[in-house]
Homo-oligomer: A and B are copies of this chain.
Amino acid sequence: METKEVSTEDAGVYNGYGSRGFIARFMTSEVSPTCEPLGIHNKFIICTGLLGGTAVSSSGRLSIGGKSPLTNGIKEASSGGTAANDLARHGIRAIIIERLPASDDRGTYVVVVSDEGVRLETMNELQYMGARNTIKALRQRFGEKAGVICNGPTGERLMRGAGVVCASPHGEMRFAARGGMGAVMGSKQVKAVVIIPAASSKVEYFDKAVFTEAAKEYHQMLVDAMPTIKKSNQLYGTTGMFKIVNELGLCPTRNFTLGAFDQHKEIGGEKLVELIQARGGDGKTGQACMNGCMIKCMSIFPDKDGKAVCSTVQYENLSLIGSNLCLGSLDEIARLNDKVNDLGLDTIETGAALGVAAEAGAAEFGDIDSFMKLMDEIEAATPLGRVIGNGVKTTGEVFGIKDLPMSKGQAFPGYDPRALKGNGVTFAMTPMGGDHTLGNCYGARATVPPLSCEGQGDLSRKTQLQMAGLENMGFCIFARSYLFKKPELFTKFTYGMCGTQMTVDEFWEQGHETARLEYEYNVKAGIAPAQDKLPEYMYRVPLPPTNHVFDLTDEELQKGRLC
């Protein structure tokens, strides 16, 4: 950034690696593990998965990487939206923003990708603009079909609860939410990356026939499953989980002091769909957040007059800014969710921080106005707002709250580890701390009971390996259950794209290698294995209604260590 030079390079040794796989390898080679996350030596990485830009359903996730200012370790956060496919169709697999602007440079910059190449524009008029208007302004300027990756005002102000926004087809905001990567983007003073669609795709295949065959086979699986997809994913997205999570008593409620919410029926997936269908207007279920997706889990939640409020309300939103704050109304949750989104914040980190703030008396559980006031503080960047915008650890430390729902400085998502013990292993043992995307054990609850003390380490480990494999490709989590039935598809896709021949075992080993590199990066960053732990109160304070504490042995926890 200091020089504002734009240069391009061949993929080189990174050929064959996408998303998390690419980020782990790039960080290992090119970013000093001891660098300051918001300093001159961190790099802000935007990249696609291996299948980005292809017509394969649900493979167009965008990945954001760098050293996290929340965990001080390596981070990959991924998002839906159209940008990854747009980028890949230009033949671009990654954009890396290096160094910092000069100290007297107050500019706000936009990276513009077009058929003419990549350039940097100064657009100071976008400084501190909300994410929604930023997307709107950029699409007005660069075309309604432009892919947009942007930062909200909180990321620009270096608040470490900020995520990175990636726009969906109609301007809805998707998030590479976790790890405070919006603050890293903000440190570079890059407000947005805009991708004007390529006139023709530059995606190259090593063996298109093999690739197409695999794609057909995979798409047929989705077609076969379509009746189920329509009844579940397209209707509820992830919100269908809410009811079950409540029944299992693992739903973050009242700042992680309860595992079930008494008003759960008012804010569950069924109620969500009922309201969307009854209200009509802008309200919709079954929307695709990226081109070519057959699963289409996105919804648009309308207000009473049918006007769009928020897209998309998902499970983590219902729990972290719903039950966790004792908000028993979807209208309230959607309003708060939209504000969190527009400010460019991670709903998980922010929901957890708001819960701690309420615990400290800065807001009242169940009172939406008190939480909206805190959002106004964040928007105005007051000291109180900045505290909350910096996430759960800062909020807790500033307010002197000792028991904080987090691991490695990052807030827990919507699964209390006392009642879903496998996720406790994941939160404790993985390099990214309180992040379920590295190995969510919820889906295996039928085989390993969430409250059992046995099998959790192995389950977490297995799930971590699956995710590390999946996340090289750029696939959405919703594709997992289909693809895992036939992992040969992964090897065929890889061969078809870039000619790398591997067995299924080698495919999994590649994911394992990604996780190993991440782990080693963290150790070199000074995050020793001693930091692989859960907060002490989880071991001591029982969680109603199951009244379980987190009681896995250290030996069991260690089974969840991939490296």
A387 to chain B, nearest CB (A): 6
A366-422 contacts to B (CB < 8 Å): 382-384, 386-387, 390, 394, 397-400, 402
**A525-540 toward B: CB 8 Å interface, digit per residue (1/0)?**
1111111010111001
Of the stretches A35-43, A213-221, A333-341, the one at the interface is A35-43
Cβ 8 A contact of A526, one of B33, B160, B397, B531: B531
Closest-by-CB residue of B relative to A183 is B400
**A3-47 toward B: CB 8 Å interface, digit per residue (1/0)?**
000000000000000000000000000000111101111000000
Cα of A398 to Cα of B394 in the assembled complex, Å: 8
A144-181 contacts to B (CB < 8 Å): 157-160
**With A35-B536, A36-B402, A157-B400 given, can you name 18 additional A-B contacts, CB distance below 8 Å?**
A36-B535, A36-B536, A39-B536, A40-B540, A41-B536, A160-B397, A187-B402, A383-B387, A383-B398, A386-B398, A387-B387, A390-B397, A394-B398, A398-B398, A524-B530, A525-B530, A526-B527, A527-B528
State whether the Cβ of A523 lies closer than 8 Å to any Cβ in chain B: yes
Cα of A184 to Cα of B34 in the assembled complex, Å: 29
Cα of A537 to Cα of B394 in the assembled complex, Å: 23
Q: Which residues of B contact A533 (CB under 8 A)?
A: 34
**A-B contact list, 19 entries, CB within 8 Å:** A33-B530, A34-B531, A39-B537, A158-B400, A158-B402, A159-B400, A187-B402, A362-B383, A383-B383, A383-B398, A386-B398, A386-B399, A387-B387, A390-B397, A394-B398, A523-B530, A524-B530, A526-B527, A526-B530
Find the residue from A187, A524, A526 having the highest chain B CB count within 10 A. Answer: A526
Given contacts A160-B397, A383-B383, A384-B383, contact A402 B528 (CB under 8 A): no
Q: Which residues of B contact A39 (CB under 8 A)?
A: 402, 536-537
Cα of A390 to Cα of B400 in the assembled complex, Å: 9
Q: Which residues of B contact A386 (CB under 8 A)?
A: 387, 398-400
Cα of A553 to Cα of B540 in the assembled complex, Å: 46
Q: Which residues of B contact A525 (CB under 8 A)?
A: 530
Contact residues on A (Cβ < 8 Å of other chain), bracket: 35 or more
Find the residue from A33, A387, A533 having the highest chain B CB count within 10 A. Answer: A387
Cα of A514 to Cα of B384 in the assembled complex, Å: 42
Does A526 contact B524, Cβ atoms closer than 8 Å? no
Cα of A526 to Cα of B525 in the assembled complex, Å: 11
Closest-by-CB residue of B relative to A36 is B536
Cα of A157 to Cα of B398 in the assembled complex, Å: 10
Does A40 contact B383, Cβ atoms closer than 8 Å? no
A452 to chain B, nearest CB (A): 25
Q: Which residues of B contact A158 (CB under 8 A)?
A: 400, 402
Closest-by-CB residue of B relative to A529 is B526
A501-556 contacts to B (CB < 8 Å): 523-531, 533, 535-537, 540
Cα of A335 to Cα of B407 in the assembled complex, Å: 41
Closest-by-CB residue of B relative to A540 is B40
Does A40 contact B398, Cβ atoms closer than 8 Å? no
A194 to chain B, nearest CB (A): 25
Cα of A382 to Cα of B361 in the assembled complex, Å: 12
Find the residue from A159, A531, A540 having the highest chain B CB count within 10 A. Answer: A531
Cα of A34 to Cα of B33 in the assembled complex, Å: 22
Closest-by-CB residue of B relative to A524 is B530
Q: Which residues of B contact A187 (CB under 8 A)?
A: 402
A184 to chain B, nearest CB (A): 11
Q: Which residues of B contact A399 (CB under 8 A)?
A: 386
A4 to chain B, nearest CB (A): 19
Cα of A362 to Cα of B394 in the assembled complex, Å: 19
Closest-by-CB residue of B relative to A537 is B39
Does B402 contact A398, Cβ atoms closer than 8 Å? no
Find the residue from A160, A382, A530 having the highest chain B CB count within 10 A. Answer: A530
Q: Which residues of B contact A34 (CB under 8 A)?
A: 530-531, 533
Cα of A528 to Cα of B531 in the assembled complex, Å: 10
Q: Which residues of B contact A527 (CB under 8 A)?
A: 526, 528
A520 to chain B, nearest CB (A): 12
Closest-by-CB residue of B relative to A362 is B383
A295 to chain B, nearest CB (A): 38
Q: Which residues of B contact A400 (CB under 8 A)?
A: 157-159, 386
A162 to chain B, nearest CB (A): 11
Cα of A35 to Cα of B540 in the assembled complex, Å: 13
A37 to chain B, nearest CB (A): 10
Q: Which residues of B contact A390 (CB under 8 A)?
A: 397-398
**A70-114 toward B: CB 8 Å interface, digit per residue (1/0)?**
000000000000000000000000000000000000000000000
A355 to chain B, nearest CB (A): 16
Cα of A399 to Cα of B389 in the assembled complex, Å: 11
Closest-by-CB residue of B relative to A383 is B384
Closest-by-CB residue of B relative to A399 is B386
